[in-house]
Amino acid sequence: MRTRTIFRGTFLTCVRKAGLPKMPEGLREAMREFDERLREKYVAAQDRWPALAVGYEAFARRVRRALDAGGERGLSALERCPAEDLYLAAALDGQDPRAWEAFHREQFGFIRSIARKFALNDEDAEDVAQELCANIGTRLQSYAGRGSLRGWLCAIVPNLTRDRYRSGAARFETSLEARVEANPGDEERSQDPALLTDSGVSAHEARDRIDRPRCREMFEKTLASAMERLDPEQRELIVYKYVRRLKSREIARIRGVGEYVIAKHLSKALTRLQKRILMNATTMFGFSSKEVRDCLEIIS
């Protein structure tokens, strides 16, 4: 240890004696201006989100990531940086519960409005918004910060909404049947490429290949067992949402909590319920994972 300390001291002494090239004055001044402006943006973001506690370094890391993503590091790039959005992102990175609530309050309605343009009904659009808000901490890892948070949401929400329909054919069938009912004889709509499953077959063809009675038997026998494995609070949430058909904001009022809390807990409850149903279906009925997902889609 002593030898290493002596060597380190000798090395530093040699470096000092040799002298290091000085930083050009212009560059030094540019860095000083950059740091000052970054601090100003930090203070402005604090004013925008007074309830959120984000350290300067956490905020600066988000800003540097945004500048790196844009390929620029100068003062002009910093001026274009969405500092307030990055401050909120940094708070979410730190798993601040107040940040989750702020995000839900500011963005839930916006997300739902985008999802409505791509979903088959309002319920699905609301589910997309709830799921995204509940899992925003994970999703936000892909937000580099090159543009605004809402610009990023405009890019990802359509894909999230489409992904909701890619695991099965049931909701596609609902859409097709509704369209044919509204426009009798307009059969060509059933071949719309947007209404094909991942395997390339139409929704009606996919429906014909699924054994509905067996699916229903599986679901009825596994659901009760799966529900028993949930804790009382999770069971109550699922009953409120899917039996009594209450909206998340109505459940939130009953529970006396924020809507974002309901969305987060409901997402966890559904994930746990689906895992239990999958486990029971594979062991009791010999279903594959894909068959279980298809069955859940077609009877939902």
Q: How do residues 224-239 score in pLDDT, each as one tens digit?
A: 788 888 888 888 888 8
Q: Give the DSSP letter of residue 49.
A: S
DSSP class of 202: B
Query: Rg of the chain over CA atoms, in angstroms?
Result: 27
> Which of 6-15, 20-29, 56-65, 245-254 tops mean pLDDT?
56-65
- Contacts by 69-73 with C-beta closer than 8 Å and gap 24+? 69/144, 69/145, 69/146, 70/146
- pLDDT, residue 52, reads 93
First to last CA, the chain: 69
Q: Comparing 22-31, 103-112, 177-186, 279-288, which segment has the lowest mean pLDDT?
A: 177-186
Whether residue 86 is predicted with pLDDT greater than 50 in this model: the reply is yes
The most confident of 93-102, 190-199, 256-265, by mean pLDDT: 93-102
| 269 vs 165: which has the higher pLDDT | 269
- The dihedral of CA 214, 215, 218, 221: what is its sign? negative
From the candidate CATH numbers 1.10.10.10, 3.40.50.720, 3.40.50.1110, 3.90.950.20, the one assigned to the domain spanning 211-300: 1.10.10.10
Confidence of residue 41 (pLDDT cuts 50, 70, 90): very high
Nearest Cα neighbor of 167 from 13, 275, 292, 62 is 292
CA atoms within 13 A on the CB side of 66: 29
| Domain parsing of the chain, residue ranges | 33-164, 211-300
* Mean pLDDT rounded to a whole number for the chain: 76
Instruction: Using a cut of 0.85, tell me whether the model's pTM lies above it.
Output: no
The CB density around residue 9, as the number of other CB atoms within 10 Å, is 10
> Which positions ≥6 away from 189 have C-beta within 8 Å?
176, 179, 180, 183, 195
Confidence of residue 114 (pLDDT cuts 50, 70, 90): very high
Q: Provide DSSP, 210-263.
A: S-HHHHHHHHHHHHHHHHHTS-HHHHHHHIIIIIS---HHHHHHHHTS-HHHHH
Mean pLDDT of 26-41: 83
